[in-house]
Structure 1
Amino acid sequence: MGKQQSFTFESFQRWRRAFELGFWPVFFVINTVFNATVSVMDHPDFPAWEPWTWEASSAVVMLALMPALVYVSRRWPIRFETWRTNLLRHLAFSVLFSLVHVLGMVAVREVVYAMVGGHYVFGDSWSNFSYEYLKDVRSYFWMMAGIALYRLWVMRFQGEASLLAEPDVGPPVEPVEQPERFLVRKLGKEFLLAAREIEWLQASANYVNLHVRGRDYPLRATMAGIETRLDVQHFMRVHRSYVINLDFLAEIEPLDTGDARLLMRDGAKIPCSRRYRAALRERFGQSSAA
Structure 2
Amino acid sequence: MTPPEPFPYQRYAPWKTWVEAGLWTLLILGNFAGNSLTELMELWRRGAGIPTWEPLVWEGSSALVLLLLVPVLAWFTGRFPLYWHLWRRRLALYAAASVVLCVVHVLAMVALRELVYRALGSDYQFGPWLRGLVYEYLKDVRAFFLIVVVMEGYRALLRRWQGEASLPEAAPPAPDAGPADAEPARPERFLVRKLGREFLVPTGEIEWLQASGNYVNLRVGGRDYPLRSTLARVEEQLDPRAFARIHRSYMVALAQVASIEPLDSGDARVHLKDGSVLPCSRRYRQALRERFDAGA
TM over 0.5: yes
Corresponding residue of 2:91? 87
**Corresponding letter in the other structure for 1:111:** L
Q: How many residues align?
A: 279
* Cα RMSD for the two superposed structures: 2.1
The equivalent of 1:30 in structure 2 is 30
- Residue of structure 1 equivalent to 2:3: none
- Residue 63 of structure 1 aligns with which residue? 67
The amino acid across from 2:27 in the alignment is: F
Question: SS of the residue aligned with 2:84?
Answer: coil
TM-score of the superposed pair, with normalisation by structure 1: 0.90
Task: Deviation per CA, 1:217-236: give whole Å up to 9, x if none.
Answer: 01111111110111111111
Residues 32-59 of structure 1 show CA distances to partners (whole Å, capped at 9, x for unaligned) of 1222122222223321211111111111
Alignment of 1:195-234 (within 5 A): 195-234=203-242
The answer to whether residue 185 in structure 2 is matched with residue 177 in structure 1 is: yes
SS at match of 2:270: strand
Is the 1:24–1:63 Cα contact (8 Å) retained in structure 2?
Answer: yes
Q: Equivalents in 1 of 2:243, 2:235: separation in Å?
A: 8
Q: Residue 155 of structure 1 aligns to a residue in which SS?
A: helix
Counterpart in 2 of 1:242? 250
- 1:56 to 1:177, Cα distance in 2 relative to 1, 3 A: farther
Answer with 256-265 or 193-202: which moved more: 256-265
Q: Aligned partners of 1:25 and 1:107: how far apart in 2?
A: 21
Query: 1:160·1:186 contact (CA, 8 Å) conserved in 2?
Result: yes
Q: Following superposition of structure 1 onto structure 2, how do residues 38-117 of structure 1 map, counting pairs within 5 Å?
A: 38-44=38-44, 45-117=49-121
C-alpha displacement at 1:99, in angstroms?
0.5
Question: 2: distance between equivalents of 1:258 and 1:32?
Answer: 52
Q: Which runs of 4+ in 1 moved over 3 A?
A: 167-172
Residue 260 of structure 1 pairs with residue 260 of structure 2: no
Whole-angstrom distance in 1 between the partners of 2:206 and 2:131: 56
Alignment gaps of 5+ in structure 1 = 1-6
Q: Secondary structure at the match of 1:30?
A: helix
- The one-letter code of the counterpart of 2:25 is P
Alpha-carbon separation, structure 1, partners of 2:101 and 2:129: 16
Kindly, what percent of the aligned residue pairs are identical? 48
Change (3 A) 1:91 1:46: same
Counterpart Cα distance in 2 of 1:224 and 1:169: 24
1:20 aligns with 2:24: no
- For normalisation by structure 2, the TM-score amounts to 0.89
Q: Distance in 2 between matches of 1:142 and 1:163?
A: 32
Match of 1:4 in 2: none
State the alpha-carbon separation in 1 of the partners of residues 118 and 71 from structure 2: 29
The answer as to 2:142 corresponding to 1:138 is yes
